[in-house]
Structure 1
Amino acid sequence: MSSRIPTLDIRRFDTDRDAFVAELGASYREWGFAGINGHGIPQADIDAAYGVFKAFFALPEDTKKRYHVPGGGGARGYTPFGVETAKGAKHFDLKEFWHIGREIPDDSKYRDVMPPNLWPDEVPGFREHGYGLYRTLDRLGSKVLSALALHIGLPEDWFADKTHYGNSILRPIHYPPITADDIPNVRAGAHEDINLITLLVGASAAGLEVRSKQGEWVPFTSDADTIVVNIGDMLQRLTNHVYPSTTHRVTNPPGEQARKPRYSVPFFLHPNPDFLIDVLPSTVTPDNPSRYPEPITAQGYLEERLREIKLK
C-alpha cells in the first residue's frame, strides 16, 4: 500500500467517530482517495463474484456480444474491447466490461433512464453473486457518504434520500493480456470518475496510479482486504472542489507481467437521476467562490460525460 494515501478502518465510524470523520475528510481533501478496511465484506463473497465475472469474460466473443446493447451507452450488459476512450485521449482503453445497475420496478419514474439488467445464461450464479456484491458496496458507499456529510457540516443522513434510487453501476472489468510491445494504448487512460464516489474492490493487482497535487503519479496498490474509495466529478462539483476528483490511470505492467490478464470491479455510486447537482452553500467561502453558478441534474451530467468518453 502506498504509505502516502491513508487507509482507514471504517469500524471507527462507530467507535471513534469524530477522529475517523476528520481523518477521512483530510484524506479526501488532499488526495481525493482513501483506502477503507474493516468493512466486513467476506472475502469469500468477493472471490465468488470475481469467479463468475472471470467465467463470463472467458466466453467466446460471439457469445459475449449477444449481451451488448447498441445505442445503450454501455448502461447495462456488455461493452466490448476497444470502445471506451478516456476523455481527451487519442487511443481507446485496453479493456472490456459489464455493467450491473440497480433493480427497480418497471413502473418506477426512473425506468426510462435506468433499464433492466441483463444476465448471462451461460454463467451460473452470475446474478446472485453480481447483484449481491452490488448491494453490499451500495451499503458501504452510503456509510462513507455519511462520514463525508458530517465532515462538511451536513446531517449524517443528508445523502440517504438523494442516492436511494441512484443510477449506480457495478462494473466488472477485464484487461486482457498485452501481447505486443510499444503500443500507444494503456489499460485505462488518465481520467476522473463521473459519479459521487467510486468503491474499487480487489485492487490488489498493481497498476492503479493517482496523480498528486504536485503532478506526481503515485502507485496505489492496496492490501487484499482494502477497498479503494475515491471522489468522482459529481461530488467535486457539489462540494465546490472541497473534495477533488483526482486524475488516475491504470498503467501497463512491465515485461512478462503484461502477458497476464487483470481484473477489477469498481462500484460507481450515483445520485438519483433527478438529483440537482447545485453547489452546497457551506462549501462557498471568500477563498473558494462558487465555481458552478448553473446547477445540472445527475442524469444530464451523466449523459454529457458519456458522450465525452465515447460510450454515447
Structure 2
Amino acid sequence: MNPSSTPPPPARYALGELDKEARMGGQGEETTAREVRVIDLSDFDARKAEIAEQLWSASVDIGFFQVSGHGIAQADVDAAFARAEQLFALPREVKAQWPLARNAGWEHKAQIRPSTQTPDQKESYQVTRPRMIGLWPTEDQLPRFKAQTLAFERQCWEVGMRLLSCFAHKLGFDDDFFTRAHDPDVPAYQSTLRMLHYFAMDPALRDELGLWRAGAHTDFDCLTLLFQRAGQGGLQVLPGKEMASRQWTSVAPIEGVITCNIGDMLTRWSDDQLPSNFHRVRNPLPHEYQGARYSLAFFCQANEDAVIEGPGKKYPPITGAEYLKQRISANFSNRY
C-alpha cells in the first residue's frame, strides 16, 4: 500500500491536539533552515501596532519567537534561577511534602508525554497562585522564597499580557480580552510558573534513545515564556504545520531574551490561525555539556471559568478548567 494512502491510527484521546502529539515520537532530523525571530518590545506603547504585526507574522510562520526589551532585568532572572537551584537541592523527602496536584507542587519523573510514553528525565516545581496552600517551603528552609517567587511570577504575567494584547488586537478582540481571561486576582486563576531541573546525563543510559529530557509536545496554554541558561541547550522546535517533515531546529539559549511559543489554547481560540508548535528537549550530544539543565517557564493559561471560543466559532466552546483537565490528565496520569 502507498504510505500516503495509509489511514491514520485510531484516535486515542478526546482532544485532537493530544492525538496529534501521540504521533510525534522518534528522533527525526535536524535543520538550520528555520529562523527563530527576535522581536524587540522596547517602547511598547508607542510601537504596539508594529510589534503586533511582527508577533503575528512570526507566530503564523512557526508559532515560535523570542523577545528582547521585555523589561525583566537579567538580575531578576538570575535570582529566579538561583532560587530554583536551591529548591531542587533540598532533600527528596522534603520536596515530597509538596506533591503535584492540579498544576501546583513538586514532581519527579512524573510527566509521561503521549509522544514517548516514557518519563521526562526531570523534576519540576509548579506555582499556581490559588492552589499553593501547603506547597511552599518554609522561611527556615528557603528564606523569602515565596515572596520573591511570586514577585517574579507577576513580572512574567505582565510580559505575557502585553504579548497577548497584541494577539487580541489581531484577532478582533479588544486589547484587554486575554488579560481578563488570565485575571490573577481571582480563585479561578490557573497560569503557572514552572521551575525545571533536567538531570545530569548518566553515561549508562546514553544509548537509550527513549529517554528524553522532555519528549515532543505542544504546550497546553495560550502562550509560554521560557527562560534558558547559556550553555544549557537542547531545546528544539518543529512547527505544527510541518509535523510530517520530522525536521527539528535547535534554539540556543541567549541571555536577555525570552523564548516564546504559541500554545494549544490560543490555537483553538484563534480558530487555528495561530499554530502551536512541537518542541522537545533532547539529551546532550557526547561533545556537549553533560551536567544538569535548568529552565524557567511561565504558562499563560486561561482562568478556569474563561470560555475558549474563536471569533469564527470553528470549535465548540470549552472552559479553561475542562481544557487543562484533559491535557494534564494525559500527561500526569490523572493528577488533576
Instruction: List alignment gaps of at least 5 residues for structure 2.
Output: 1-31
Is it true that 1:172 corresponds to 2:195 in the alignment? yes
Question: Which residue in the other structure is 2:299 paired with?
Answer: 268
Cα pair 1:236 1:242 within 8 Å, conserved: yes
Q: Trace 1:9-24 onto structure 2 (pairs within 5 A).
A: 9-24=40-55
**For structure 1, which segment, 85-94 or 11-20, has the greater mean C-alpha deviation from structure 2 after superposition?**
11-20
Cα pair 1:203 1:221 within 8 Å, conserved: no
Query: Deviation of residue 32 (structure 1)?
Result: 0.7
Aligned residue among 176, 187, 193 for 2:213: 187
CA distance in 1, matches of 2:61, 2:129: 31
Q: Trace 1:179-218 onto structure 2 (pairs within 5 A).
A: 179=202, 180=204, 181-183=206-208, 184-202=210-228, 204=230, 205-212=232-239, 213-214=241-242, 215=245, 216-218=247-249
Q: Trace 1:133-152 onto structure 2 (pairs within 5 A).
A: 133-152=152-171
Whichever residue aligns with residue 152 of structure 1, its letter is L
Cα pair 1:203 1:228 within 8 Å, conserved: no
Aligned residue among 36, 47, 54 for 1:5: 36
- The alignment's TM-score, normalised by the length of structure 2, stands at 0.81
Question: Which residue in the other structure is 1:78 paired with?
Answer: 106
SS at match of 1:259: coil
Whichever residue aligns with residue 44 of structure 1, its letter is A
CA distance in 1, matches of 2:193, 2:33: 25
Question: Which residue in the other structure is 1:90 paired with?
Answer: 117
**Corresponding residue pairs, total:** 289
Q: Sort the Cα spacing of 1:3 and 1:244 in 2 relative to 1 into closer, same or farther, 3 A.
A: closer
Q: Sort the Cα spacing of 1:12 and 1:242 in 2 relative to 1 into closer, same or farther, 3 A.
A: farther
Q: Trace 1:33-44 onto structure 2 (pairs within 5 A).
A: 33-44=64-75
Is it true that 1:225 corresponds to 2:244 in the alignment? no
SS at match of 1:41: coil
Question: Which residue in the other structure is 1:116 paired with?
Answer: 133
CA distance in 2, matches of 1:171, 1:145: 19
Is it true that 1:306 corresponds to 2:334 in the alignment? no
Q: List structure 1 segments (4+ residues) > 6 angstroms apart after TM superposition.
A: none
SS at match of 2:274: coil
Deviation string 1:69-126 (CA, Å, 9 cap, x unpaired) is 5xx24x222112x2101124221100100011124xxxxxxxxxx4536211212232
Question: Which residue in the other structure is 2:81 paired with?
Answer: 50
Aligned residue among 284, 290, 306 for 1:259: 290
Question: Which residue in the other structure is 2:15 paired with?
Answer: none
Cα pair 2:192 2:299 within 8 Å, conserved: yes
SS at match of 1:172: strand
CA distance in 2, matches of 1:308, 1:230: 21
Cα pair 2:114 2:331 within 8 Å, conserved: yes
CA distance in 2, matches of 1:88, 1:221: 23
Q: Sort the Cα spacing of 1:196 and 1:117 in 2 relative to 1 into closer, same or farther, 3 A.
A: farther
CA distance in 2, matches of 1:24, 1:259: 34
Identity of aligned residues (%): 31
Cα pair 1:174 1:264 within 8 Å, conserved: yes
Query: Deviation of residue 19 (structure 1)?
Result: 2.0
Is it true that 1:32 corresponds to 2:63 in the alignment? yes
Deviation string 1:167-197 (CA, Å, 9 cap, x unpaired) is 1000000001011311221000000000111
